[in-house]
Amino acid sequence: MSKNKRTLKFRPDGTFTIAQFTDVHWIDGCEEDLRSRALMETVIREEKPDVVFFTGDVIYTGGVKAGRQPCLDPRGALREAAACAEERGVPWALVFGNHDTENYITREELAAEVEAFAHSVFERGPAELSGCGNYALVIEGADGKAAAALYGFDSGAYSGLPHVEGYDWIRRDQIDWYLRESRRLTERNGGEPLPALAFFHIPLPEYEQVWRTRTCYGSKHEDVCAPKLNSGLFAALAEAGDVMGTFCGHDHVNDYWGELHGIRLCYGRATGYNTYGRDGFPRGARLIRLNEGRRGFESWLRLDDGTVVTSQPEHIPERG
């Protein structure tokens, strides 16, 4: 970890709060971008998170409609999008989405920018791994030892195989890396898996499975746009026994969560205005709170209309 990186610590009251912003889609500081910034600033002011975690598509470097200017300055866009945390001295991290580096900049170039911020706790991770930004952040407890961990995974962008359509998937070398990190942290914790959360942009195929087969809480207004291949990350998480919940974005009008095999699969709440949404579905953020020495976590939504949602609508799947 770089010298300028801040150590993440549980508060004296034993809590640690994460604000998840997802799909901000910052382009150029237009009116929609400024609404996104105002929302993020409100969340940070009201919730006082210990870290902000952007789950992909922080900026949008893809194609735009005729007459619109594309994101020609990705570095500037990233700086503006992250200002909500950086200017307030709040530690922040991110994982890349499919739109962050479509044009004008590479993942490695943008990652170098992210690492350079004073309050960024993002790490590029091992250079030999697929993607960029596979890393583990440790949260220290009152005794200065690791008490919890946050994993970031680069879920890629689009399939690189001509015979497989759709989105990319977390690769086997990334999964092997996670298992090594998990074992290392478990051993340091006296053989007990360290309570952990995982963050990535593109949902795993199990997000569709949990909606179809388990009681879930929240809304599903669009298809789960998961990769067509299941590379086995969820199985690895279940076997390792440390990750209690996963958090993604990508599908802007889904915000549900459900538990599958002991892991809570959670969508964030789409944050950005410079992209598609749905009438009656306000932008917002997901908040996550850990408690030192306890497995499990609390989670709620804070919406742009000022609503704090602690109980989302129940969805019971149809039994065939």
Kindly report, residue by residue over 284-311, the tens digit of the pLDDT: 999 999 999 999 999 999 999 999 999 9
Whether residue 194 contacts residue 146, with contact meaning beta carbons closer than 8 Å, is answered with: yes
Average pLDDT, the chain: 96
What gap in Å lies between CA 245 and CA 226, rounded to an integer?
Answer: 17
Give residue 67's pLDDT: 83
- Residue 248 reports pLDDT greater than 70: yes
Q: Return the number of other C-beta atoms located less than 10 Å from residue 108's C-beta.
A: 12
Whether residue 238 contacts residue 263, with contact meaning beta carbons closer than 8 Å, is answered with: yes
3-state secondary structure of 274: coil
Give residue 199's pLDDT: 99
Digit-coded pLDDT (tens) for 144-177? 999 999 999 999 999 999 999 999 999 999 999 9
Average pLDDT score over residue span 241-266: 98
The residue among 53, 52, 62 whose CA lies nearest residue 27 is 62
Fold of 11-315: Purple Acid Phosphatase; chain A, domain 2 (3.60.21)
Give residue 251's pLDDT: 98
Q: Which residues of 186-224 are buried (b: 16+ CB within 10 A; e: fewer)?
A: beebeeebbbbbbbbbbbbbbbbbbbeeeebbbbbeeeb
Give residue 1's pLDDT: 40
Digit-coded pLDDT (tens) for 185-215? 999 999 999 999 999 999 999 999 999 999 9
pLDDT band of residue 320 (cuts 50, 70, 90) is: low
Digit-coded pLDDT (tens) for 2-21? 444 679 999 999 999 999 99
Digit-coded pLDDT (tens) for 57-84? 999 999 998 888 899 999 999 999 999 9
The residue ranges of every structural domain in the chain are: 11-315
pLDDT band of residue 116 (cuts 50, 70, 90) is: very high
Give residue 3's pLDDT: 40
Q: Which residues does residue 19 pair with via DSSP β-bridges, in sequence order?
A: 52, 287
Sheet holding 314-315, edge to edge: 8-9, 135-140, 146-152, 196-199, 243-248, 263-267, 257-260, 216-217, 314-315
Greater confidence (27 vs 68) lies with 27
Whether residue 227 contacts residue 159, with contact meaning beta carbons closer than 8 Å, is answered with: yes
Give residue 318's pLDDT: 85
The residue among 1, 17, 70 whose CA lies nearest residue 274 is 70
